[in-house]
């Protein structure tokens, strides 16, 4: 299907997409892939921008993946708006949108699971058991269906990105993984599809999360230890918002082990629960001339 007045192709079945992207047909054209769960925002559009700069064809998937939601999580209430997503994807220059149904993606379940390694034991993996199994399951299916040259993932989901990089490396998957910086609102809140589920009061408090992370990043640059920093960041979030802390953690990145003097990249990550919405955010710092500096976000 081609949406009127745009040239975006909307494909709903695996068979049709595989035919369309068959390597013999696409010849030397490179494919950049942007997997999403829809309800697009500037963070997704930044992934598309990077994909367009580096590839001939940009494919986006929109699929709210039930396999990565646990019991009691927000699968049902996860925001969805197909028409708006198609308009945004089209104006961002996406060539093909793959928007399958749950039945199309999971017609049967043979019970085979993909289990991530130690990188999934902490941060979101600790409070969302099975979440990354579900992410790897859908990502592997999508990679097999789209067969992209490059796939684009946002650093807001830094743990997801680290696990996917390891998966691709360990299993020799064909796609390259491209890291794309976090996109923030003007007040510092990381863009997220879930932000619409915050109440007005929570939305006005939520920038406290990034402010607290920045305090933590400054403390790290001044030589404070990870434990003290985690504590100070948590205190700052709690005293400036009604959110409750799921975790605040400082780790070496992307291995997600303890911070050591050999860590060339360090992540300070947190998850904060508001009434119905759980937000995650992070700052990644890299060593430059012997000191740690915060990696740039996209504004
Ligand atoms: O980051 C997301 O939106 C999802 O986890 C992904 C990668 C599209 C898999 O469902």
In tens, the pLDDT along 242-252 reads 999 999 999 99
Residue 6's pLDDT band (boundaries 50, 70, 90)?
Answer: low
The model scores a pTM over 0.75: yes
Tokens standing for 126? 């600790």
Q: Is 60 in the pocket of ligand 1 (CB under 6 A)?
A: no
Tell me the pLDDT of the chain averaged across its residues. 95
Q: What is the pLDDT of residue 2?
A: 60
Q: What is the pLDDT of residue 130?
A: 96
Q: What is the pLDDT of residue 171?
A: 98
Overall residue count recorded for the chain in this entry: 299
The pLDDT tens digits for 75-105 are: 999 999 999 999 999 999 999 999 999 999 9
pLDDT at 199 over 70: yes
- Could you tell me the distance, in angstroms and rounded to a whole number, from the CA of residue 36 to the centre of ligand 1? 5
Q: Is 90 in the pocket of ligand 1 (CB under 6 A)?
A: no
Residue 44 appears among annotated catalytic residues = yes
In this structure, the residue with its CA closest to atom 5 of ligand 1 is 135
- Catalytic: which of 44, 50, 131, 262? 44
- Could you tell me the distance, in angstroms and rounded to a whole number, from the CA of residue 288 to the centre of ligand 1? 31
Pocket test for ligand 1, best of 33, 34, 37 (most atoms within 8 A of CB): 37
Residue 183 to residues 43, 130, 180, 190, 260: CA-CA distances in angstroms?
A: 5, 27, 9, 6, 28
- Could you tell me the distance, in angstroms and rounded to a whole number, from the CA of residue 132 to the centre of ligand 1? 10
Q: At what angle do helices 208-221 and 226-240 cross, to 10 degrees?
A: 160
165, 175 Cβ separation under 8 angstroms: no
- Could you tell me the distance, in angstroms and rounded to a whole number, from the CA of residue 135 to the centre of ligand 1? 7
The pLDDT tens digits for 128-180 are: 999 999 999 999 999 999 999 999 999 999 999 999 999 999 999 999 999 99
pLDDT at 116 over 80: yes
Index of the ligand 1 atom closest to the CA of residue 164: 7
Residue 293's pLDDT band (boundaries 50, 70, 90)?
Answer: confident
Sheet of strand 244-252, all strands in order from the earlier edge strand to the far edge: 244-252, 265-273, 278-288, 291-294
Place of tokens 């605040």: 248
């Amino acid at each position: 299907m081609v949406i009127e007045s745009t040239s975006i192709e909307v494909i709903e079945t695996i068979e049709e997409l595989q035919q369309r992207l068959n390597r013999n047909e696409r010849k030397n054209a490179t494919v950049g892939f942007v997997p999403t769960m829809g309800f697009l925002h500037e963070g997704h559009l930044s992934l598309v921008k990077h994909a367009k700069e580096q590839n001939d064809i940009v494919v986006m998937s929109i699929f709210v993946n039930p396999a990565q939601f646990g019991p009691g999580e927000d699968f049902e209430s996860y925001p969805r708006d197909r028409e708006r997503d198609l308009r945004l994807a089209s104006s961002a220059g996406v060539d093909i949108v793959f928007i399958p149904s749950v039945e199309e993606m999971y017609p049967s379940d043979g019970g085979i699971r993909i289990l991530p390694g130690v990188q999934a034991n902490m941060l979101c993996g600790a409070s969302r058991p099975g979440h990354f199994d579900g992410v790897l399951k859908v990502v592997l299916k999508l990679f097999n269906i789209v067969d992209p040259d490059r796939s684009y993932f946002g650093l807001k989901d830094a743990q997801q990105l680290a696990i996917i990089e390891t998966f691709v490396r360990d299993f020799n998957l064909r796609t390259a993984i491209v890291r794309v910086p976090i996109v923030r609102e003007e007040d510092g809140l990381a863009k997220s599809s879930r932000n619409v589920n915050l109440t007005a009061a929570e939305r006005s408090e939520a920038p406290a999360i990034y402010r607290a992370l920045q305090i933590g990043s400054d403390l790290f640059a001044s030589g404070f230890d990870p434990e003290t920093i985690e504590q100070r960041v948590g205190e700052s979030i709690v005293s400036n918002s009604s959110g409750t802390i799921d975790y605040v953690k400082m780790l070496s990145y992307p291995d997600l082990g303890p911070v050591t003097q050999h860590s060339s990249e360090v992540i300070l990550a947190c998850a904060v629960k508001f009434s119905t919405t759980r937000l995650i955010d992070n700052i990644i710092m890299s060593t430059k001339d012997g000191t740690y500096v915060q990696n740039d976000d996209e504004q």
